[in-house]
Amino acid sequence: MGKMAAAVASLATLAAEPREDAFRKLFRFYRQSRPGTADLGAVIDFSEAHLARSPKPGVPQVVRFPLNVSSVTERDAERVGLEPVSKWRAYGLEGYPGLKK
């Protein structure tokens, strides 16, 4: 009965959200894997990848960007449960410009 209920719930979700974006598909893929069995080879660890001299073939180079946090105080970050502002880092992928003002 548990599998049937899960299938019905999945169908209900698809009916409510007919267009599934790429992020949601990837999130579901990694979430549904049994702990320790997911192949995380395609996941980029931004905290370490910017230190690598040359990325893996087919993986864009990770670059670190300066971050202007003058409008946010350590107290503001703490109040909403974020890491201290002094620990914040910004990264990007070479060739993928991201969002611009």
**Which pLDDT belongs to residue 92?**
82
The arithmetic mean of pLDDT across residues 14-37, rounded, is: 67
- Asked whether the predicted pLDDT for residue 18 surpasses 60, the reply is no
The arithmetic mean of pLDDT across residues 8-30, rounded, is: 63
- Asked whether the predicted pLDDT for residue 7 surpasses 50, the reply is no
Find the distance separating the first CA and the last CA of the chain, reported in whole Å: 51
Least Cα distance to 57 among 37, 38, 41 occurs for 41
Q: Is 64 helix (H, G, I), strand (E, B) or coil?
A: strand
- Asked whether the predicted pLDDT for residue 4 surpasses 60, the reply is no
Phi then psi for 67, rounded to 5 degrees? -120, 125
Residue where the block lists tokens 């209920």:
5
Tell me the per-residue pLDDT of 35-73, one tens digit each, with 9 for 90 and over.
Answer: 666 676 777 777 776 666 666 666 677 888 888 888 889
Exposure string for 61-96, b = 16+ CB within 10 A, e = fewer: ebeeeeeeeeeeeeeebeeeeeeebeeeeeebbeee
The arithmetic mean of pLDDT across residues 85-91, rounded, is: 88
